[in-house]
């Protein structure tokens, strides 16, 4: 029977626990291996409800477990899926509980044009579902902008072409350039920040966001969600001008107007001053002709008034109206006199009637009024008095006190 013996010459005296050994391995791996980029195909993809992403990255010969924490994957501009070839940037870490090494992912991007196209279509569909492409949200492009802001790179022919076309077509235009990177890592963030800064500045009428042509990778900054949302949230109208006429980016769908090239954006942004001069000259001629037509019409009307009887014989008209006025005055005086005489006669008749009804006039004709004493009530019949009762007799002039000695009620004489 064979016996085995350990060579203890290179072994430490201390017996390590599994946890301690795993921790030593973790320290060695994580401190000796730098951050690097790895290309591979996604498999076993899991998007956990917590927001963390777990998957394996594999090639023909091997695979490695990967974890992409929620705090880092929130900026992903595409949706990873099994079978997609990607490039990840990260570092190797050790999961102590299981003693497994894994790739802690810091960034991820599609590895080829096919993957980029998939990411493009995914983001396009998602933003369209959110309403970022709706026509109702798009703002009108001002017809005569005074100031235009341009978000692009200072290097390259695109900016020079836009400046040359803008100043040639509309010399009064004021141009403000906010230079940014338009490709590579961090370009999308710079473009979005430039759009936000122009909105904070506020003193521009229109914004052009774009760059010249290039590959799909070169134009990719304009396909990122951060740029799309910056354009969507802009209060200032935005023209997207990216690449050549056949190139379409997410920014084209979100912008208020898509221009096929940066040069075309400059032509769409401002009117041609030469066309404006021709139009203004035409309007001036039309306005002058309209004015002359009105003057001719007023002259004709004035000539008609001058030739009319009223204008040729003003004194006759004044005399005619004066005569008519005299007639009206005489008629009015006659009417007034008639009504005054009529009312006087009515007043005299009413006065006679009142005089006839006056009690003093009745007393003057020999009648008198008897009052019971001491109530001073009028005695109208013999039944209102009693024998030996004192009464007052009112004459037309003066009165007398009398005592009743006999009463005749009219039943016999």
User: How many helices (H) does the chain have, and how many strands (E)?
Assistant: 12, 14
| 88 and 185 co-located in one domain | no
| 376 and 248 co-located in one domain | no
User: For residue 345, what pLDDT band results from cuts at 50, 70 and 90?
Assistant: confident
To the nearest whole number, what is the mean pLDDT of the chain? Answer: 86
CA distance 182 to 163: 18
Residue where one domain finishes, among candidates 286, 307, 328: 307
Q: Which of 48-52, 190-194, 394-398 has the lowest mean pLDDT?
A: 394-398
Return phi, psi of residue 69, to 5°.
Answer: -65, 150
Tokens of 97: 């509980």
- Write the Ramachandran bin of 279: left for phi over 0, alpha for psi from -120 to 50, otherwise beta: alpha
CA distance 60 to 63: 9
Residue where one domain finishes, among candidates 263, 290, 307: 307
| 163 and 94 co-located in one domain | no
Position with higher pLDDT, 110 vs 3: 110
Q: Examine the pLDDT at 4 and tell me if it is beyond 70.
A: no
Determine how β-strand 36-47 pairs with β-strand 53-58: antiparallel
DSSP of 122-136, one letter per residue? HHHHHHHHHTTT-GG
Note if the bond before 392 is cis, omega within 30 degrees: no
| 266 and 380 co-located in one domain | no
Q: Examine the pLDDT at 99 and tell me if it is beyond 70.
A: yes
| 226 and 267 co-located in one domain | yes
Position with higher pLDDT, 75 vs 65: 65
Residue 307's H or E segment, with its range, is: helix 273-307
User: For residue 349, what pLDDT band results from cuts at 50, 70 and 90?
Assistant: confident
Position with higher pLDDT, 125 vs 79: 125
CA distance 164 to 315: 75
When pLDDT is averaged across residues 31-55 and rounded to a whole number, the result is 89
Q: Yes or no: say if 201 and 151 are a contact pair by the CB < 8 Å rule.
A: no
User: Looking at residue 3, what is its pLDDT?
Assistant: 47
| 30 and 72 co-located in one domain | yes
User: Looking at residue 79, what is its pLDDT?
Assistant: 73
Report the 10 Å Cβ neighbour count for 96. 13
Place of tokens 């020079």: 160
Give pairs for 356-359: CB < 8 Å, separation 24+.
none
What are the start-end ranges of the H helices in 87-224? 113-130, 157-169, 187-201
Place of tokens 């006659």: 334
| 165 and 57 co-located in one domain | no
User: For residue 6, what pLDDT band results from cuts at 50, 70 and 90?
Assistant: very low
DSSP of 262-288, one letter per residue? HHHHHHHHS--HHHHHHHHHHHHHHHH
Within a domain: 237 = yes
| 374 and 391 co-located in one domain | yes
What is the count of structural domains for the chain? 4
Best CA proximity match to 227, nearest among 195, 262, 265: 195
Position with higher pLDDT, 201 vs 408: 201
Within a domain: 91 = yes
User: Looking at residue 412, what is its pLDDT?
Assistant: 53
Within a domain: 398 = yes
Within a domain: 320 = no
| 184 and 196 co-located in one domain | yes
Q: Examine the pLDDT at 2 and tell me if it is beyond 80.
A: no
| 27 and 106 co-located in one domain | yes
Within a domain: 106 = yes
CA distance 67 to 191: 30
Within a domain: 382 = yes
Q: Examine the pLDDT at 75 and tell me if it is beyond 80.
A: no
Q: Which of 4-18, 34-48, 162-176, 229-243 has the lowest mean pLDDT?
A: 4-18
| 74 and 162 co-located in one domain | no
Within a domain: 209 = yes
CA distance 271 to 278: 12
List the domain range (segments joined by +) for residue 26: 18-111
The pLDDT tens digits of the residues spanning 242-263 come to: 988 888 899 999 999 999 999 9
High-pLDDT (> 90) share of the chain, %? 38
CA distance 112 to 84: 9
User: Looking at residue 309, what is its pLDDT?
Assistant: 66
Within a domain: 82 = yes
Tokens of 337: 């006199």
CATH classification of the domain holding 243: 3.40.50.2300
Residue where one domain finishes, among candidates 271, 293, 316: 271
The pLDDT tens digits of the residues spanning 297-310 come to: 999 988 887 777 66
| 175 and 96 co-located in one domain | no
């Amino acid at each position: 029977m064979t016996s085995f013996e350990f060579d203890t010459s290179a072994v430490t005296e201390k017996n390590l626990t599994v946890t301690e050994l795993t921790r030593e391995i973790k320290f060695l791996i994580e401190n000796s291996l730098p951050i690097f980029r790895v290309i591979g195909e996604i498999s076993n993809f899991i998007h956990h409800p917590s927001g963390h992403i777990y998957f394996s990255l594999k090639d023909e010969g091997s695979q490695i477990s990967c974890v992409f924490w929620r705090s880092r994957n929130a900026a992903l501009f595409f949706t990873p899926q099994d079978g997609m070839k990607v490039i990840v940037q990260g570092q190797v870490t050790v999961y102590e509980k299981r003693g497994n090494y894994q790739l802690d992912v810091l960034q991820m991007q599609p590895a080829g044009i096919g993957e980029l196209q998939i990411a493009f279509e995914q983001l396009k569909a998602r933003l369209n579902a959110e309403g970022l492409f709706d026509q109702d949200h798009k703002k009108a492009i001002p017809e005569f902008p005074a100031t235009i802001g341009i978000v692009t790179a200072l290097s390259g022919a695109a900016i020079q072409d836009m400046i040359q076309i803008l100043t040639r077509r509309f010399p009064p235009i004021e141009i403000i350039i906010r230079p940014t990177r338009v490709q590579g890592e961090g370009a999308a963030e710079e473009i979005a920040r430039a759009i936000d800064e122009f909105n904070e500045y506020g003193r521009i009428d229109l914004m052009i966001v774009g760059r010249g042509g290039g590959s799909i990778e070169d134009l990719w900054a304009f396909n990122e969600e951060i740029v799309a949302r910056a354009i969507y949230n802009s209060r200032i109208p935005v023209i997207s001008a990216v690449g050549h006429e056949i190139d379409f980016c997410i920014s084209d769908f979100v912008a208020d107007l898509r221009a096929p090239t940066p040069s075309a954006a400059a032509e769409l942004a401002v009117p041609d001053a030469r066309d404006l001069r021709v139009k203004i000259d035409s309007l001036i001629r039309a306005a002058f002709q309209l004015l002359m037509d009105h003057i001719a019409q007023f002259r004709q009307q004035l000539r008609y008034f001058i030739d009319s009887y009223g204008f040729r014989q003003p004194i006759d008209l004044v005399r005619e109206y004066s005569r008519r006025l005299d007639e009206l005055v005489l008629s009015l005086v006659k009417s007034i006199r008639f009504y005054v005489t009529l009312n006087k006669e009515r007043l005299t008749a009413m006065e006679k009637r009142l005089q006839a009804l006056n009690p003093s006039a009745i007393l003057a004709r020999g009648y008198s009024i008897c009052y019971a004493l001491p109530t001073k009530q009028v005695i109208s019949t013999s039944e209102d008095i009693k024998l030996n009762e004192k009464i007052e007799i009112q004459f037309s002039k003066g009165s007398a006190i009398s005592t009743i000695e006999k009463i005749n009620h009219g039943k016999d004489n």
